[in-house]
Amino acid sequence: MSRNARPARASVRSVNYASSPLLASKTPPWRSRFAVALVGLAFAVLLGRAVWIQVIGSDFYQKQGEKRFAHQLELPASRGRILDRNGLVLATSVPTPSVWALPKDFQADPTQRRALARLLGMSTAELDARLEGNPNFAWLRRQVDESVWEQVKALGVKGVHQVREYKRRYPEGEAAAHVVGFTNIEDQGLEGIELRFQNQLQGRDGLRFVAKDRLGRVVEELADQTDAVNGDDIQLAIDSKVQFFAYQRLRDAVNEHNAKGGSVVVLDAQTGEVLALANYPSFSPGGERLSQKDERRRNRALTDVFEPGSTMKPFTAALALDTGRVTPRTPIDTAPGRITITGSTITDSHPHGVLTVAEVIQKSSNVGTVKMAMQMQPREMWELFTQVGLGQKPQIDFPGAVTGRLRPYKTWRPIEQATMSYGYGLSASLLQLARAYTVFARDGEVIPVSILKQEGPVAGARVMKPETAQAVRQMLQLATASGGTAPKAQAIGYSVGGKTGTARKQDEKTRQYVTNKYRAWFVGLAPVSHPRIIVAVMVDEPSKGVFFGGDVAAPVFSQVVQNSLRMMGVPPDIEVKPQILSKPVVAEQESF
């Protein structure tokens, strides 16, 4: 083996590299220049790239680098509270865990997946769908109960985390739902006070700039923290106790008469404050998210307008009194219980014969009211109706309040003037009607209404003489006494006055009045001598055979009045006498 290797080493040493044809051949000059140029170009590219990264595009690359470790954390602001007039909470925000995941780190066996999905109220397919897409972040379930998060945490699923968000709580629930409204998952107001005062309630989030390691742990503060600014509190005129009781009585009445729905408005007669605004059916503002078309969300007291029926008769009588055409004792012959205007006949529920003006209101005579109205010019009636707020959008800090309908007087035909005098041919919301009755409670002045708490009595606009309003108040008191249409409106310990209304509804398609659908109204005030509150009640489509305002709405008025005045500390103005009734109180049948 060694003998064979020796000649090979000798032959290698004997190679003459200088005489190699390959090495001896002349290299073209362009080749070396090309090589040098390539090297120079490479250095130029590297230099340009360095200039681009370090000078021209330095901001971009700096930001990209910061993204790997620097993070901006939001410090959520707490939404302001909504309070009632006494400082009790109607809406507040509480910190609540929201569950999220880092999909690229998510690890769970099938049993853990099923358990996680069950706890978060979803299927495993929905859970998998949420984890797809963005590998760095995915919401699993926002604003869960603390107990739910504790159970999720106990599963030990890698990649699942929680963050604290604020969730809205509504202690009064369904009773005040249409007042406070509600927010969406992003804490934006969608209805009611939450919507109207969104800017004041929402506050301003704070910021925290930190550096995190690869495991997501904060390791350094990179800048000064900007603290969150919580939202402002909003104090309402609503009295939560009055609100709750009004809602309960309304709910009971709607259920008792198998009605479609109803509303109650309670106003402070001195300040115009809305002490209660309740609707039924209602909804849970902190519960399930409702669809845009859900009927329970409709704030009937502000958004629904109706023909107010006989509740308009006191205004017609007031105008006749104020212009000197009649006195409370002026006799009006209503026989034979009907009157024909330009070919159309208006009737009473039954013939009354000769009635005084006060008795026309007490017994709710259509014929007597029309005879007063036809003595007036249409312009006079239109001006009075306008001055008390009909046909005008209510000036109230609340979304959704509607205008109603009151056509210009120049277009009125005689039959339209006649029907408007007793509440047909115009429309109003329950809030508008309650506000209109402030003219009787405030001795001829109509006052603005407010959903926010006011300090002391407010100035009103003069509409009629004080003695006119006082005379009408006495007529309204007669309507709630024996022989009137609403003896069931009487309240224990307090003198009351008010007017019933029973209006036929129109078919939505034919626009014709139907004979089996009604709205029952009652609007009144108490105490009569010095009114402190105005209560308006509407029950829509009572369907158990009883539909008159004096039978359906007046009892709600009675209960709301006596409890509200007690809660407000108003002393009784009439003697409370124990009574044992052997037979039910029968109301005068109302004309409509």
Instruction: Compute the Cα dihedral for 145, 147, 148, 150 and give only its sign.
Output: positive
The tally of CA atoms less than 13 A away on the side-chain side of residue 177 is 21
Residue ranges, CATH 3.40.710.10, the chain: 240-288+306-567
Q: Which residues contact 495 (CB under 8 A, 6 or more apart)?
A: 477, 526, 527, 528, 529, 573, 574
What are the residues facing 3 on neighbouring strands? none
Please give the C-alpha separations between residue 134 and each of 99, 103, 138, 264, 313, in angstroms, as whole numbers.
16, 7, 7, 50, 67
Q: Tens digit of pLDDT for each residue in 22-63? A: 556 666 777 777 888 888 888 888 888 887 777 776 777 666
Percent of the chain with pLDDT over 70: 87
Max Cα-Cα span within the chain? 156
**Structure tokens belonging to residue 119:** 């706890």
Q: Could you read off the pLDDT of 416-471 as tens digits, one per residue? A: 999 999 999 999 999 999 999 999 999 999 999 999 999 878 899 999 999 999 99
Check pLDDT > 90 for residue 257. yes
**CATH number, domain 75-235:** 3.90.1310.10
Residue 64 has pLDDT above 90, yes or no: no
442-451 CB burial, b ≥16 within 10 A, e <16? bbbbbbbbbb
Cis-peptide, bond into residue 527, ω within 30° of zero:
yes
pLDDT value of residue 131: 87
The set of catalytic residues is 310
Confidence band for 574, pLDDT divided at 50, 70 and 90: confident
- 430 token code pair: 């329950």
The whole-number pLDDT of residue 26 equals 66
Helix (H) or strand (E) holding 264: strand 261-268
CA dist 297 and 262 (Å) reads 13
Residue 4 in this model has a pLDDT that exceeds 60 = no
Averaged confidence pLDDT in the chain: 87
Comma-separated ranges of CATH 3.90.1310.10 domains in the chain: 75-235
Confidence of residue 549 (pLDDT cuts 50, 70, 90): very high
Residues 438/534, Cβ–Cβ less than 8 Å: yes
Residue 68: the pLDDT is 58
Q: Which CATH number describes the domain made up of 240-288+306-567?
A: 3.40.710.10
Amino acid at 462: R
CA distance 46 to 37: 14
Is residue 412 helix, strand or coil?
coil
Span 292-312, average pLDDT: 86
CA distances from 254 to 219, 262, 358, 524 (A): 61, 7, 32, 19
- How does residue 14 score in pLDDT terms, banded at 50, 70 and 90? low
Q: Is the per-residue pLDDT at 175 higher than 80? A: yes
SS3 535: strand
Strand partners, 124: none
Query: Taking phi first (over 0 means left), then psi (-120 to 50 degrees means alpha), and beta for anything else, what does residue 572 get?
Result: beta
Q: How confident is the model at residue 225 (pLDDT cuts 50, 70, 90)?
A: confident
Q: Is the predicted pLDDT of residue 219 greater than 80, yes or no?
A: no
Residue 581 has pLDDT above 50, yes or no: no
Look at residue 520 in the predicted model and tell me its pLDDT.
94
